Structure 1
Amino acid sequence: MKRTAFFILCLLTVFSVSSVAQNLRVRESLSMQSRILNQEVKFSVYLPENYFENEAHYPVVYLLHGLGDNESSWLEYGRIAQYADLSVSSGEAIPMIFIMPQGFRTYYVNDYQGSFLYQDMFVKEMVPHIDSLFRTIPEKQSRATLGYSMGGFGAIMLHLKHPDIFGTSVPLSMSVRTDQQYMTEEASGWDEQWGRLFGAPSLTGADRITEYYKNNSPYHVLPALSRNELNNLSIYMVNGDEEQTLCRSNEELHILMHRLGIPHEYRVIDGGHSFKVWWAALPNSLRFISDAFEGKTYRGDLKNTISASSVDDAQMLKVNIKGENISAFTPEDYQASDRKYPAIYFTGSFDSIQRATISAMVNSEIKANRICPMLLVFLPEMNAEKIMSLIPLLEDELRIRQGYRFRAIAGSGESALQSLELLVSELQFSSCYLSDAKISAEAVPGFITEQHREKLKRTTIFIDAADKSDFTETSGTMHMILRDMEITHEYRLREGNGGFDRMMEGLKEALGVISTRFHR
């Protein structure tokens, strides 16, 4: 009798554990037997919060990991469950299923020898398997790919090669190469990372640009698509401004897409090749995917609140130096002190409302102790030579602390050219802020040269640009040249077409960098 009772108890325990497992929202390292690969392929799963409380069907995001990672990486390092739950609870995204497949070292493609047909497995076995296991919406508009590094490459190529299956793509820090990078990459690294996939190992130079490679490179696939195919793409790309090789390859891909008129979103944010960048990218990435799933035009990125404190009239000074009327903002303690202050010199034409708006934001940041007390000097339109002659006089007149460390220059739009001229002039600045620089891309190499390398190394340059601007290529070119020359700088590519409001968003972040450099 006791033995029977114990047996029944064991059965109930097993049944209970099995039932709980069936209702788990997060499952790690499940497996599917692939006939194409003739082996097991693992995958992890995240289900929406109320998945087991209703009969609704959900769209699916395939989360692709980077080289050396696995099907658990998005759960462990990517914290996808937290980001997904937060995006839904805040109303920024609709509920969705996340599938995290094991990608091995495949770049999510079929290898050129046909010995490991991973992409075939993915579209012919993995996707149908997921649709059979879970209540998905089995349509292309309801499937997206999102990945980092190697997974970023997979995310965009699955979308380009199989638009009938995957309707949206979000590549983060995409591991991709331009043809030039591909041809000149060191042999052992190329053989291990690319040669084994796109064929064949030991090739050098132009011989590496095989037809198989071209069929799996966004640089060659995109230009070959029809206008209708291009217009149906849905791509949101993100990269970190501290990337090395991927700086140029991602930037040039954006420039190519911009020139071809391919609709896409591209952001460059603070950081390198790490989850710090990918975490920062996730809220807007999920927002973009959610809008695509619902067939909506993208709402745009989440906006940072820009606080501003009112500025007393006494804080705004007007001085006349050598016949030029110059406006300046001063901190609240300026009139009660005889101390000296660092200063930012703004070039170009700002009207009184714009000057007041900039001053109010800086005043707020000073009062919140997020930046050091500083002056803002709004220079009227004049040539760079005259500005150079005025700055020493302004330093004396306005109690501006002398020395390049306490001097920053800022230019927006057309005036960015003048800021660049001053940056490489006889004067020295600790920081330079360039917003939506309206300069031809061809002119940039004339300012950022080996001749100016040592001088530029002493200056932190903050380039702030808009991804839809006609001059987005200019800012990207500056970024690539500075990265190649190993010159410290910050680069942000934000949403939109530029303009004063977007400049204000970038300036708030730049102020922290400028303030830090004043005291370095």
Structure 2
Amino acid sequence: MQRNGRFFLKLILLPAFLVLAALTGCEKEKPDNGTTLPFERLRKDLSVQSSLLNRAINYAVLLPPEYEHGHDTYPVVYLLHGFGDNEKAWYQGGNIRYYADQYAGETGPVIYVMPQGFNTYWVNKYSGTYPYMDMLINELMTAVESEFRIKKEASQRAVMGYSMGGYGALIMAAKNPEVFKTAVVLSMSFRTDAQYLNEPQGVFDSQWGTVFGGMGKSGNDRLTPYFLGYSPFHFFMDPGDPSCSGQHYFIDCGDDEESLSETNDAMHLLMRDKGINHEYRVRNGAHTWDYWHKSLPEAFRFIGYAFRNLPYPDKGDDTFQDEQVPAARIYSHFTEETQQPFHVMVPEGYTTEGNAYPVIYILHDRSAGMEQEESAALLARMDAGISGLRLPKSLIVEIPAGDDILSLETLGRIKEMVNLEYRVKTEGKFAVIAGNGGAGATLYTLLPELGDLFNACLLFDAELPSGASMTGTDMACYLDITDQGNNYQPYHSFYLSLRQQQIPHEYRVRQGLPSHGSFLAGLSEASVFIKDNLKK
């Protein structure tokens, strides 16, 4: 009887032991021989059985090094893949372990979860037959957050994705604010209404209609109620929608995208118009891991601030640390007819070399009371670019302009004087022209007449008119604006005009508000464009 009793007790305790072992994901696994297996940070080939989808859903988990010891819980980032990829994408092409470790100082120790999303766009199917979002929230997350020591507060959960996963990150946080407070949206794959209507039928049916309804439809019939309910271009229109306040959105998209840069830029405009707090970046690049990898340093920083419940800091002004240009290399002039002042900085070695140089003209909007300091800072920044070999050896011509109207005749006269009095390459292909603020607005009005005088133009937080577009010239153009600047609407219009006309261009949106420091930082980032457009 005693033996039977002990046997019965073992039968009772065995299931309890197995449950306990399943729940203690932090413990090192032990094989049958009793030895301890090494701690595995990257757990691949995991799965959860979904009753909602009636199938197993694969996922992977990356644990922080600290997870091996102790019993702390950790914030979590759900990483969503793009169309046609799977849960392996983030740890294979994305190399998430390297980047997570590299920027752990920004985020603190974090658990990363990579679920399999198929081609669902991370939402429930319109027909109700494949409720993927419900599955992820109610089944996969519940299982994962029971298996691993994960903090369960919305403020300690973030979701980040690229392409289809970028939309997934946005929609997960927008539709589930009680679950996620933070979304990092990389190269979001979605469509404005106009883009949606113009999608080729085959692409529409396979990529969109199967998820949002409207299979085989054309025109406005594609805009099903289900699509409208899941389109940020509609739910962000309602200021009372929970998605519009209290969430942390970080949006980043390359300017070389075929159509997604237009989509993401349009969403930025809507969010600015509606006062929805967000960070927005546009950098040089396309729909590639190379671009997304370069997004990660700031994305991790953004997530880290959100996890600490701290506001994301504004970008400080450029501190003007460049070495000042010797006065002997700066010459001041006035045009005879209009008494327009301008300043010429010659490169180091100008007096001893016999070379002819290209010219960078800058229409300079300076702050009242800071004119001399800002002129000196501008010339110092350009000189630093030349001495650092980021810019070719060039003459720099600064034309103080501000909100004053600089006529085409006066600008032409300045160029004539520079060509006559200095050793420069006189053809237009060896000159570029830039302008900031009000001076940028002046440059914009002159653009139709400048095609023969300059090879490229650059506009920095320029005060462009509503509906701005490129007309009368096809010179290459560099558009730079801060994400909190007031000219986002005309910049978007001008950007679309350049794309539609297939005019060579670069587009940048950087953090912050317009300032002279921001202008100098933008000039530094534009050095490759300037160099490429000063013909040798």
TM-score by length of 1: 0.91
Corresponding residue of 2:395: 375
Corresponding residue of 2:270: 256
Corresponding residue of 1:334: 350
Contact 1:284-1:301 within 8 A present in 2 as well: no
In 1: Cα distance, 2:141 partner to 2:492 partner: 37
Contact 1:112-1:212 within 8 A present in 2 as well: yes
Corresponding residue of 1:121: 135
Q: Note closer, same or farther for the CA distance 1:16–1:262 as it changes in structure 2 (3 Å cut).
A: farther
Corresponding residue of 1:355: 375
Q: 1:213 aligned to 2:227?
A: yes
Offset of residue 307 of structure 1: 6.2
Corresponding residue of 2:10: none
Contact 2:30-2:37 within 8 A present in 1 as well: no
One-letter code of the match for 1:435?
F
Corresponding residue of 1:102: 116
Q: Structure 1 regions of 5+ residues with no counterpart?
A: 1-11
Q: 1:48 aligned to 2:64?
A: yes
Contact 1:265-1:467 within 8 A present in 2 as well: yes
In 2: Cα distance, 1:297 partner to 1:17 partner: 49
One-letter code of the match for 1:185?
E
Corresponding residue of 1:505: 521
Contact 2:358-2:431 within 8 A present in 1 as well: yes
Classify the secondary structure of the residue corresponding to 1:33: strand
Offset of residue 87 of structure 1: 1.1
Offset of residue 159 of structure 1: 0.7
Map 1:371-450 → 2, pairs under 5 A: 371-381=391-401, 382-426=406-450, 427-442=452-467, 444-445=468-469, 448-449=470-471
Offset of residue 81 of structure 1: 1.1
Corresponding residue of 1:317: 331
Residue number among 44, 52, 56 corresponding to 1:36 in the alignment: 52
Contact 2:444-2:464 within 8 A present in 1 as well: no
In 2: Cα distance, 1:423 partner to 1:184 partner: 32
Offset of residue 368 of structure 1: 2.1
One-letter code of the match for 1:430?
N
In 2: Cα distance, 1:106 partner to 1:301 partner: 37
Corresponding residue of 1:308: 322
Corresponding residue of 2:196: 182
Classify the secondary structure of the residue corresponding to 1:318: strand
Alpha-carbon deviations, 1:6-65, whole Å to 9, x = none? Answer: xxxxxx9944799436x2111123111111111111111111121112211101100000
Classify the secondary structure of the residue corresponding to 1:253: helix
In 2: Cα distance, 1:316 partner to 1:163 partner: 57
Which structure is larger by alpha-carbon Rg, 1 or 2?
A: 2
One-letter code of the match for 1:268?
V
In 2: Cα distance, 1:334 partner to 1:206 partner: 64
Contact 1:306-1:505 within 8 A present in 2 as well: no
Question: Please, which moves more after superposition, 237-246 or 315-324?
Answer: 315-324
In 2: Cα distance, 1:416 partner to 1:405 partner: 21
In 2: Cα distance, 1:58 partner to 1:302 partner: 31
One-letter code of the match for 1:472?
Y
Question: Please, which moves more after superposition, 173-182 or 506-515?
Answer: 506-515
Offset of residue 354 of structure 1: 1.4
In 2: Cα distance, 1:19 partner to 1:483 partner: 59
One-letter code of the match for 2:274?
L
Q: Note closer, same or farther for the CA distance 1:64–1:497 as it changes in structure 2 (3 Å cut).
A: same
Contact 1:240-1:271 within 8 A present in 2 as well: yes
Corresponding residue of 1:20: 37
Contact 2:53-2:132 within 8 A present in 1 as well: yes
Question: Please, which moves more after superposition, 235-244 or 304-313?
Answer: 304-313
Q: Note closer, same or farther for the CA distance 1:34–1:311 as it changes in structure 2 (3 Å cut).
A: same
Q: Structure 2 regions of 5+ residues with no counterpart?
A: 1-28
One-letter code of the match for 1:383?
S
Offset of residue 300 of structure 1: 4.5
In 2: Cα distance, 1:31 partner to 1:80 partner: 19
In 1: Cα distance, 2:34 partner to 2:515 partner: 59
Offset of residue 503 of structure 1: 0.8
Q: 1:191 aligned to 2:205?
A: yes
Map 1:471-482 → 2, pairs under 5 A: 471-482=487-498
Q: 1:274 aligned to 2:288?
A: yes
Q: 1:83 aligned to 2:99?
A: yes
One-letter code of the match for 1:217?
S
Q: Note closer, same or farther for the CA distance 1:438–1:291 as it changes in structure 2 (3 Å cut).
A: same
Offset of residue 310 of structure 1: 3.2
**Following TM superposition, where does structure 1 have runs of at least 4 consecutive aligned residues deviating by more than 3 angstroms?**
12-19, 300-307
Identity between Structure 1 and Structure 2 (%) = 34
